[in-house]
Amino acid sequence: MTKRVAILISGGGSNMLALVKSMTEGHPARAVLVLSNNADAAGLQKARDLGVATSVVDHRPFGKDRTGFEAKLNEALDLAKPDVICLAGFMRILTPEFVAKWRARILNIHPSLLPKYKGLNTHLRAIKAGDFEAGCSVHQVTDELDDGPVLGQARVPVFPDDTAETLAARILPFEHKLYPLVLEKFATGDLSPVNLP
């Protein structure tokens, strides 16, 4: 049975686009919903252009009430009935209750070689630490931020004159390769790690 995939975004949605475009005929999964906490997320229109249903739940009216925000997210997700939820640049922290509801079904892409640099400003932190390599990781989402089992990583060199922007630009194309590879395997129940290049 083809797996149903919901993709959660907050911004440009380039990873979402790579995922949606990867789910062509013969693929074990297909995109059924792109959901954003930000009505202005550029990725929403890109998803619509590809014929994928979109929905928005603005987090701002909920203030610190993450449970209320997630109840609305769950309403949209319950309608879409996803087997897999891909966080793709979704910049909200999820509660343990949300993670429990979708247990073992949520994937995230993070722009660092986890377990290094959980959280924000990953590229700058790698440069400041003097790291010779950086990259991205796809992992299963658990209660702890950026902490679940790693299902794939891609590595790139860090050059002496790198800025956060140049390093991010070197990593992003690898995100677009890695995430679809991991999703395709995950959709068939294969949790063995992917390593790029």
Whether residue 149 contacts residue 191, with contact meaning beta carbons closer than 8 Å, is answered with yes
Q: Which token pair is 118?
A: 């959980």
Nearer to ligand GAR, 82 or 122 (CB): 122
Element (H, E) at 110: strand 106-110
Exactly one of 12, 66, 142, 147 binds ligand GAR (CB under 6 A); which one?
Answer: 12
Exactly one of 46, 72, 110, 139 binds ligand GAR (CB under 6 A); which one?
Answer: 110
Per-residue x/- mask for ligand GAR, residues 16 to 55, rule CB under 6 A? ---------------------------x------------
Exactly one of 89, 148, 152, 180 binds ligand GAR (CB under 6 A); which one?
Answer: 89
Using CA atoms, how far residue 96 sits from 8, 31, 71, in Å, is 17, 25, 13
Q: Nearest-CB residue to ligand GAR?
A: 89
Using CA atoms, how far residue 156 sits from 84, 130, 150, 163, 166, in Å, is 28, 14, 17, 14, 12
Assess whether 110 carries a catalytic annotation.
yes
Alpha helices, DSSP H, located in 110-154 = 122-128
Q: To which residue do tokens 């992992």 refer? A: 139
Q: Which stretch binds ligand GAR (CB under 6 A): 60-68, 69-77, 103-111, 149-157?
A: 103-111
Q: Which stretch binds ligand GAR (CB under 6 A): 62-70, 75-83, 107-115, 158-166?
A: 107-115
Is residue 148 a contact point for ligand GAR (CB under 6 A)?
A: no
110, 123, 139, 176: the catalytic one is: 110
Nearer to ligand GAR, 12 or 125 (CB): 12
Using CA atoms, how far residue 14 sits from 19, 62, 74, 101, in Å, is 9, 27, 24, 27
Is residue 13 a contact point for ligand GAR (CB under 6 A)?
A: yes
Query: Which are the catalytic amino acids?
Result: 110
